[in-house]
Structure 1
């Protein structure tokens, strides 16, 4: 409920901002300045999610938690903030930009120089490492947790320098892509998979491309 209320409040703030602009500078100037209003709303939404993440769960480690532990539910609240507040006001529009990279770093991810990231679906950002020049394409899910027998198991996902995760791929916990490797579109990198450097893989689950 709280993330929904905050998202609604940001929407009201945007409407109020446009109303003030129209009253002071007219419709045409308000339309020209509308991008500034929306960018400000996005900055607020992103900052709210960063604050919620660090207040609710802090730094996330690669450990296990029982399903009914408070961590699991606090983590779900963080995800609700991302999907309800950050996604509509900031993250969807910012995919593939330096702004998204900055936000992901603030959420705890390690992103090197020149990283291209077209997704905000990094459920536990602390556990994701994207080295220099790595690429995560649109629609990917970098999944860092799985549930089994009522246990939430968390582990890291790493993309080496220059590695590429193709569009609409899913990488499961403990997966690692070596430097310069490529995983083709709509592929599943299974839990614990290690993709060798400078190799090409594709499929569900992935297999070498020959």
Structure 2
């Protein structure tokens, strides 16, 4: 999806995701309750999520996280972007058993295959799809061979 920043829908959406983030999530870092917190915000989260302090999931309703995943400190999931005066958003799907490294960023329209790892400081660009059980590193992220 995309729309102009002058569109009324953009401002409704912008207000929603800024006001919906009350910054209470850090209280649950490293606990089994962090997945529940994300679910209450609208994200689809599988079983046994270990979240050691993900920075944020900006649009929880566009995010799906599989079973047995790990989100490390300061990792971020951002299913939207503003490019050239246009607001764009798309779903982010993180498969089962995936790991987001420290300070990593997953952009909109991406899919991480089951068992994929986005290494520390990695940036998975918009539209990327990782194959199962691969490691990705860098900015922009490329497959580590």
**1:42-76 deviation per Cα after TM superposition (whole angstroms, max 9, x unaligned):** xxxxxxxxxxxxxxxxxxxxx22321223332333
1:135 to 1:194, Cα distance in 2 relative to 1, 3 A: same
Superposed displacement of residue 158, structure 1: 1.1
Greater share of strand: 2
Which structure 2 segments of 5+ residues have no match? none
> Offset of 1:170 from its aligned partner?
0.7
Distance 2:27 2:6 in 1: 34
The correspondence of residues 120-135 of structure 1 with structure 2, limited to 5 A, is: 121-135=56-70
Query: 4+ residue stretches of structure 1 with deviation over 4 A?
Result: none
Which TM-score applies when normalising by structure 2? Answer: 0.89
TM-score w.r.t. the length of structure 1 is 0.63
Distance in 1, matches of 2:70 and 2:96, equals 9
In structure 2, how many angstroms separate the alpha carbons of the residues matched to 1:121 and 1:70? Answer: 25
1:168 to 71, 90, 103: 103
Q: Bigger radius of gyration, 1 or 2?
A: 1
1:93 equivalent in alignment to 2:27: yes
Give the number of the structure with larger relative contact order, counting CA–CA contacts within 8 Å between residues 6 or more apart: 2
1:180 paired residue number? 115
C-alpha deviations, 1:64-117, integer Å up to 9, x for none?
23212233323333344345xx21xx2122123333321211221110001123
Q: Distance in 2 between matches of 1:95 and 1:82?
A: 18
1:108 to 7, 29, 42: 42
Superposed CA RMSD in Å reads: 1.7
Alignment check: 8 A CA contact 1:65 1:72 kept: yes
1:147 aligned residue: 82
Segments of structure 1 that go 5 or more residues without pairing to the other structure are 1-62
User: Aligned partners of 2:9 and 2:31: how far apart in 1?
Assistant: 31
1:158 paired residue number:
93
